[in-house]
Amino acid sequence: MTADRHARLATARLYYVSASLHALEGALRGGADLFQLRMKDARDDAVLAAAEEARALCHRHGALFLLNDRPDLARAVGADGVHVGQDDEPVAAARAAVGTDRVVGRSTHAPEQLAASPDADYVAVGPVHATPTKPGRPAAGLDYVRHAAAHAGDQPWFAIGGIDEQTVGDVVDAGARRIVVVRVLDEADDPERTARALRAALDRAPVGRAA
């Protein structure tokens, strides 16, 4: 896993983010190939305990495991990388903490933030729709997805924000070939089936086109 983290990232399509592990195994069976543990307000010992379990599950299914916002804990737990937001430390500082062999991702919400993030291994683009997981963050809309499709170049990027089985088609039509999801899997009665449906929608569009 260590040697090919960036190669795996390049082919990843379905990225699941959650503060909980209850839907993780089903999501992985259904085709999620990245998982980010996002426990913003939890104690370090709770994050580390959940991260140990999540890392083991992800690696058993051949998926990458990332930790939100904490490069120090990501390195300590053997995560495959870390994700940092616009209000977190810069990508360069996160990379210095976790090492060049791990993945560092960055949230972006507007074209100027995308342009300012060439040193990230991937970027998240959104929120496409307003979502309670990002309270107070206005929707960036499909226009930002179209902008990323035209301007991100070879940098992997994932559309994020309110994407579900009903809206994924519009996001793909706008040029996204990779998505981040949260609630649609957190709240799914059958996370495996839901993940398979999302993957099917993504897989209808080749990753090499508008990726």
Domains of the chain with bracketed CATH: 2-203 (3.20.20.70)
The pLDDT score that the predictor gives to residue 208 is 52
Say which of 38, 70, 106, 178 is annotated catalytic.
38
Task: Output Rg (C-alpha) for the chain, integer angstroms.
Answer: 15
Kindly report, residue by residue over 16-64, the tens digit of the pLDDT. Answer: 999 999 999 999 999 999 999 999 999 999 999 999 999 999 999 999 9
The active-site residue, picked from 134, 178, 196, 199, is 134
Query: Is 38 labeled as catalytic in the residue annotation?
Result: yes
Q: For residue 134, indicate whether it is catalytic.
A: yes
Which residue among the candidates 13, 107, 177, 196 is catalytic per the annotation? 107
The pTM score is 0.94
CA distance 211 to 13: 10
Please indicate whether residue 40 is annotated as part of the active site. Answer: no
Q: What's the average pLDDT block by block, 10 residues per block, for the chain (211 residues)? A: 83 97 98 97 97 98 97 97 96 97 97 97 95 74 97 97 96 96 98 98 71 44
CA distance 211 to 207: 5
